[in-house]
Amino acid sequence: MILTRPEAASTRVAAELSGIPTLISPVTQIAGTGAEVDLSRYRGVILTSANAVTYLPSLQGIPVYSVGARTAEESGGVVQLVARDAGDLVNRITATGPLVHAHGQETRGNIASRLTSAGIETHSVVVYVQLDEELSQEAKAALGGDEPTILPLWSARSAQRLFSQNVTLGPNVHLIALSPAVADVCRTAVGHAVEVCDDPDGQEMIARIVAAAGG
């Protein structure tokens, strides 16, 4: 299995799948922007990635509206909502603003503007950036070889980063995409068969990896 998520996320996934041989080669590096978020100005925080938690003050006692159970768990806040994706969060959230959406430079869903238009004042703050990182030669060789290799991809942007590096996929690479958007990037880039999670959920991805590995 090749894991291309940022180092911390890939290490966590590898630990959950300790019985599956794994090569970690991130295509994204996370770095803080230095932006400061004064939580006293807001009545809650929206999180669409656990990466943001590192660059925020403690969320203990703070209402949190999250995309994904893992992000909710790692927030340390008082979780009010766990949504499937950005659209699900916008549709289901019930809150009194102002809220703050702390996120990376690359984000999807226009959450802050959509919520503000719907009457829930929401501010958007970029607290980290996602930087390109080169796939290791070892990972490229494994993906281009003949041995069975599982390649799970969690985001459309990371898939774009991966395939922009002229990666060749061998005949026995098993691609698993977290969502249809991720799968579309894969098919456009390489025309390869892709298994797609029914729900954009980290635990479903783990289960599909285990199944693909014959576990």
Q: How do residues 99-134 score in pLDDT, each as one tens digit?
A: 999 999 988 789 999 999 999 999 999 999 999 999
The pTM assigned to this predicted structure is 0.82
Cα atoms found within 13 Å of the Cα of residue 37, Cβ hemisphere only: 28
Counting residues of the chain whose pLDDT is more than 70, the rounded percentage is 100
pLDDT at 2: 97
pLDDT at 192: 83
Nearest to 192 by CA among 52, 162, 40: 162
- Helix (H) or strand (E) segment spanning residue 130: strand 122-132
- pLDDT tens per residue, range 134-184: 999 999 999 999 999 999 999 999 999 999 998 889 999 999 999 999 999
Residues 6+ apart with CB under 8 A from 28: 4, 5, 6, 130, 131, 132, 133, 157, 158, 161
Distances (CA, A) of 171 to 148, 186, 194: 8, 15, 13
User: Does residue 215 surpass a pLDDT of 80?
Assistant: no
Q: What is the C-alpha separation between 30 and 11, in angstroms, rounded?
A: 14
pLDDT at 199: 84
Q: How would residue 66 be classed by pLDDT, with cut points 50, 70 and 90?
A: very high
